[in-house]
Structure 1
């Protein structure tokens, strides 16, 4: 049976529940080259997820301040938020080097409030990767990162992502070519190896340090593991013992307790969060709060409502802005241009539906909202469905305070918590 590595399928296998460590906490900061990352938490690059809308959304959802009068919604820089470093979706170096400048800008779009931000590339040609790294540097990215972890078949088939883990000499050539091409910090994210018979993470980390890379991030699984089984944190510890450059740990961090436990068990310099972020975009804020106070808050219904609606609204606005830019560039609205704009609108709604499953995780009756969103044809209809759902929930909460009765229609039969 073929494996499909989609985010929806990346569920945890019998996750380990970690107790709150008495001593260890996620570090307040660490440095990648000359770039200060504060706090020491990183949003993992995720294909189809970590576009500019999601990155900015995570940054704003993650804001946390312990100062007097501090508010998680106070405007702040990324270094002051609960998420220390944001990473782009992985981008094909081959595609980036070939595409037109206008299209390239769309792929490399980011905003000033996303700094520090890292651009992640994948590919297997040292020259092409070096050229693409220079493009990212010229575009103003703070860090460039090489993907040696993606297990997707279509990426591995091109000898990209984790496919390169079978060819350490070629990885060495890539490290040297990219390092020579850019002056900004250069990092790599990789897996333990191709399979259990080919564990190369320690050797690879040493090679990265020898070639002048500024940090390494290890997802403690093999390519063959995909996203199954337990992440083997002991290999993060082994990499940390082997090199002096910063080591970022990745794999099975679902809660602030998990993040603290990873630091305690591996002594890693930072923690990278991936698949939990779409379902719980407050995870970075919770880690920051737990680090500062020893406790953290769970999101309320109003938090979820504001989060879902704000994210979808930002997505609609981004599509509208792209359309406006297209119109401004065009001398006339051609049939092809109109088709392209209609496709963008459909893509926007499609992405809303994709995120609906994650954003409504843990919401009682969330299946009803998902059905409304999946049936919607336009972005406005999605927003209306969100408004209606949470308005009804708020009204039900008021009613339950008065007579402790929740209207049955708000809780579909056989369903309580998604």
Structure 2
């Protein structure tokens, strides 16, 4: 029977448990070209998720400090070399961007699409496409926009992307990939990386060959999602292929796939020898994952036993409110910029404004859904949220729900959500 592929299947399939070696941990840092990334953790590019608001939200959620007892977050392997204002997330990436679209956009539209803020550095812009010249032109645009790195997407399994020979569709044409590598590498001086899957299917595994090609063409790092395009998001990520890629090249290798917990991140490093870990699906449902990895690393180094904080109801409430406020603030920034350009008074400007507000409410609903899975009574809240017509109604539902929960018991950890509950609704395209 042919394996069924569906992009909507993003929950874990019977997640594997890993034995914890005594000294397993995520590295304190690694280097991509001339760019030091500390710690060695990367927020994966996710379509419909990793816009500037979500990226900054994750950076904020990943902050950690050294407590008075010197145990929870402190160790030479983490905080002595951690950059980004003590953030547990070392590198963030944009949503994947069409090189064709970017090269055709007006300058003003490009600026909106490539929006980022100073506190997002280091940041990598991910591109997809199949035309070497167009990709090179877009890479130059990214470099001129001030991004620290540029990344090529060879992993997205979405039919609409594969249909135009983008994303994982290119894995069937290694000669074209080589031409793209060389053309883009010649076009920019910032670090150039690639994120790819193992191959098109189990009969067409090309990850080791592709990684060697990337190294030979001057790329500075590779990231492997250890599934094929045909796998989609089903089955177990096959970490042994990350190990094979690491054995084959000298440039940094970033491992991606099935990292749900700090223990998983440490196990991936131990099993594969990869230089860094990339986290996708877990981040929207658990924005604290990068901070937890830093805590786990520090406590394991200090005491031999890795521990980390679990979010409370109050933590979830604060995070939801913070994210919603950031969405609203971002709209205000855009509208002030439009007013300065006298765009808001035009018909087109009004349509764009209304669309942004609809998108804001949509993101509120999406995020609240992620964050209430596993919370007792969360089903009723999600129903209220999805029936809400505007942002005020969404906020009202959140306020009423948590007002009855954030009490003297709010410092107790939440009951763990099932993996199926958590990931059933996460949008994701690598």
Please report the TM-score for the alignment, with normalisation by the length of structure 2: 0.88
Q: Deviations over 1:262-305 (max 9, x none)?
A: 00100000000000110001000000000000211110111100
Partner of 2:372: 360
Q: Deviations over 1:227-267 (max 9, x none)?
A: 00000000000000000000000000000010000001000
More moved, 242-251 vs 365-374: 365-374
SS at match of 1:184: coil
Change in CA separation of 1:176 and 1:79 when aligned onto 2, cut-off 3 Å? farther
Instruction: Pick one of 64, 84, 94 that aligns with 2:90.
Output: 84
Partner of 1:185: 191
Structure 2: 5+ residue runs without aligned partners? 74-81, 300-305, 413-420, 423-430
Q: Does 1:118 align with 2:130?
A: no
Partner of 1:5: 7
State how 1:268-417 maps to structure 2 within 5 Å: 268-293=274-299, 294-330=306-342, 333-395=345-407, 397=409
CA distance in 2, matches of 1:195, 1:244: 26
Contact (CA 8 Å) 2:7, 2:157: kept in 1 or not? yes
Displacement of 1:136 after TM fit? 0.4
Displacement of 1:394 after TM fit? 2.0
Contact (CA 8 Å) 1:149, 1:219: kept in 2 or not? yes
Q: Does 1:65 align with 2:91?
A: no
Structure 1: 5+ residue runs without aligned partners? 402-416
Contact (CA 8 Å) 1:32, 1:215: kept in 2 or not? yes
State how 1:22-61 maps to structure 2 within 5 Å: 22-61=22-61
More moved, 298-307 vs 330-339: 330-339
More moved, 261-270 vs 11-20: 11-20
Contact (CA 8 Å) 1:79, 1:116: kept in 2 or not? no
Q: Does 1:208 align with 2:214?
A: yes
The root-mean-square deviation of aligned C-alpha atoms, in Å, is: 2.1
CA distance in 2, matches of 1:21, 1:310: 37
Q: Does 1:127 align with 2:129?
A: no
Displacement of 1:359 after TM fit? 1.5
Change in CA separation of 1:391 and 1:331 when aligned onto 2, cut-off 3 Å? closer
Displacement of 1:200 after TM fit? 0.3
Q: Which has the higher contact order (CA 8 A, sep 6+)?
A: 2
Change in CA separation of 1:176 and 1:369 when aligned onto 2, cut-off 3 Å? same
CA distance in 2, matches of 1:148, 1:79: 31
Displacement of 1:395 after TM fit? 4.6
Displacement of 1:355 after TM fit? 1.7
CA distance in 2, matches of 1:224, 1:318: 37
More moved, 29-38 vs 14-23: 14-23
CA distance in 1, matches of 2:343, 2:285: 42
Change in CA separation of 1:79 and 1:170 when aligned onto 2, cut-off 3 Å? farther
Partner of 2:179: 173
Q: Does 1:244 align with 2:256?
A: no
SS at match of 1:333: coil
SS at match of 2:406: helix
SS at match of 1:252: coil
More moved, 113-122 vs 341-350: 341-350
CA distance in 2, matches of 1:368, 1:396: 23
Displacement of 1:80 after TM fit? 2.7
Change in CA separation of 1:49 and 1:100 when aligned onto 2, cut-off 3 Å? same
Greater helix share, structure number: 1
More moved, 290-299 vs 356-365: 356-365
SS at match of 2:23: coil
Partner of 2:77: none
Displacement of 1:66 after TM fit? 2.8
Contact (CA 8 Å) 2:42, 2:279: kept in 1 or not? yes
Change in CA separation of 1:23 and 1:189 when aligned onto 2, cut-off 3 Å? same
Change in CA separation of 1:20 and 1:331 when aligned onto 2, cut-off 3 Å? closer
Displacement of 1:2 after TM fit? 7.9
Q: Deviations over 1:206-229 (max 9, x none)?
A: 000000000000000000000000
Partner of 1:16: 16
Change in CA separation of 1:95 and 1:220 when aligned onto 2, cut-off 3 Å? same
Displacement of 1:109 after TM fit? 0.4
SS at match of 1:295: coil
Q: 4+ runs of 1 displaced by more than 3 Å? A: 1-4, 67-72, 395-398
Contact (CA 8 Å) 1:316, 1:379: kept in 2 or not? no
